[in-house]
Amino acid sequence: MKHVVFISFYALLISESFSLMAAPSSPSSIRYCIDPDWAPYESLINGQHIGLSRQYLTLIEKNSELTFTLIPTESWQQTLDYIQANKCDLIPMLNSTTNRKNFLDFTKVLFRAPNALYGHYNQPLVGHLANINQQSVAVVTGYRLHRYLLEHHPKINIVEVENEAQGLTKVQNKEIDFYLGSFHGANKYIKDNALHNLRIVGISELEDKLRIGVGKSLSHIIPTLNQAISQITIAEHAQVFSYLKDINTTQVKDYSMAIKSASAFIAVIICLLFGYWRSVNNASILEAKNKALELAHQQLDEKNKQLADLAIRDSLTRLYNRGHLSECIQQQIKLKERYNKNACLIILDIDDFKNINDQFGHKVGDDVLQHFAKQLTECARSVDIVSRWGGEEFVILCPETNIDEANVIAKRFQQCLVETSSDALPCVTCSIGIAPLRESKSADQWFIAADNAMYQAKELGKDTVFIVENA
């Protein structure tokens, strides 16, 4: 009987051992590294991790049984080296790239943010990276934007910098032309250091989609992290985002060490009195500086919004411009490739517009273009992208739209032109071409098909719609 009990206990012990070996458990505390100089997303101040990623880690700890231990590093490149050398297990906030997937697995998106191009006020507006040719652009070594420039914009003169501060300072000092970096991070540094000669001169098409990156040896905790992220409420996300507005921009010097170093009691008293007097005297100065910085930041934000809008809008009609439309077309092609989403391109050209300029003058011609654009906007749906391609030619990108639905939009606009005609402006008509998006078609091929359809409409007598069935 004793032998039977011993054998049963031994079998149970072996079973439990195999069970533990088969299901890896999460470590009691997960080691993580950050970018030590990427405020406000994350940074090291006196050895303490602060920023958005720290707040998100706190929420994840609350929503799971995971705990995290910081492994300090001196640079972003060292953080990447540490994660690959297994000196830390996790990076709490970074973009997913093809190269990083070789040594990291990624959670769902935690935070989204734009990237912008910064230049000196003496620099003209650029709009998009494609408009830069042979000019110098600084970017932080090892950032996703660095690899993106190398792969997609090889003509740009890339200047590698160690951090965001170095890149923005070089632009301020006119050592280089532009700096490409995160919108929130660059704006914070500009505000904190009063770099009022800098402004946004363009918008990057590459958006930051920040995630948690986990070393391959701990990839089994990805579901736990994703579940914890899903449990973060909208209010908690909003509270984290509010951190961007709550950052202190002025720090008061600490005189405690000078006081402690005094060699006599009377010297301590004198230092205390002097420190008190100085703090009272500087209170109004510090308050004025903070107000000035806050006002400068508000003005910078407002200018940035205006510049961002100018970069994607046509100055005369306020419709989207050619550059923004081109980006939207590329996005629609990707949706077609991945999800087989329908889309149509509508090209409209005002008939005999040259005669209007010749007979009534360019001022009336501009008024006709503005009226035409206004009617286009009112007749289009909220999902449609309405743009001015150039001159008297306009384009509507219609997502998730088949040929029949696009034809209805075109006919409705023709009717709208008739109903809104007045004695104040010459009556106009337009020729319209429609082309659906077909598989394996490039942006140029799609646009040429719609453009040819528009010219077919003109050959049929103008003021008509021509549809390309097999674009």
Convert the pLDDT of each residue in 382-411 to its tens digit: 999 999 999 999 999 999 999 999 999 999
Q: Is the pLDDT of residue 329 over 60?
A: yes
Residue 108 has a pLDDT of: 94
Kindly report which listed range (154-168, 277-291, 331-345, 374-388) carries the lowest average pLDDT score. 277-291
Handedness of CA 231, 233, 236, 240 (dihedral sign): positive
Strand 90-95 to 37-38 pairing: unpaired
Q: What is the pTM of this model?
A: 0.47
| 347: three-class secondary structure by DSSP | strand
Q: What is the DSSP string of 405-448?
A: HHHHHHHHHHHHHHHT--TTS----EEEEEEE--TT--HHHHHH
Residue 1 has a pLDDT of: 45
Task: Answer with the residue of higher pLDDT: 210 or 241.
Answer: 210
Confidence band, pLDDT 50/70/90 cuts, at residue 443: very high
Nearest to 138 by CA among 114, 103, 165: 165
**What's the mean pLDDT when you consider all of the chain?**
84
Q: How far is the CA of 143 from the CAs of 38, 146, 390, in angstroms?
A: 11, 5, 36
Residue type, 251: Q
Residue 124 has a pLDDT of: 83
Q: Give the sheet arrangement for strand 136-140, strand by strand.
A: 157-161, 136-140, 178-182, 115-120, 198-203
Residue 387 has a pLDDT of: 96
Strand 393-399 to 178-182 pairing: unpaired
Kindly report which listed range (114-118, 253-257, 393-397) carries the lowest average pLDDT score. 253-257
Q: Is the pLDDT of residue 60 over 50?
A: yes
Task: Answer with the residue of higher pLDDT: 245 or 323.
Answer: 323
Top mean pLDDT of 108-117, 215-224, 236-245, 284-293 is at 215-224
Question: pLDDT tens across 300-321, in order?
Answer: 777 777 777 778 899 899 999 9
| 142: three-class secondary structure by DSSP | coil
387 CB-contact burial (10 Å; exposed 0-12 / middle 13-18 / buried 19+)? buried
Kindly report which listed range (73-77, 128-132, 243-247, 450-454) carries the lowest average pLDDT score. 243-247
Can you tell me the distance from the alpha carbon of 425 to that of 356, in angstroms, rounded to the nearest whole number? 10
260: enclosing H helix or E strand:
helix 256-260
Residue 75 CB: number of other CB atoms within 10 A?
16
Residue 266 has a pLDDT of: 65
Can you tell me the distance from the alpha carbon of 106 to that of 92, in angstroms, rounded to the nearest whole number? 10
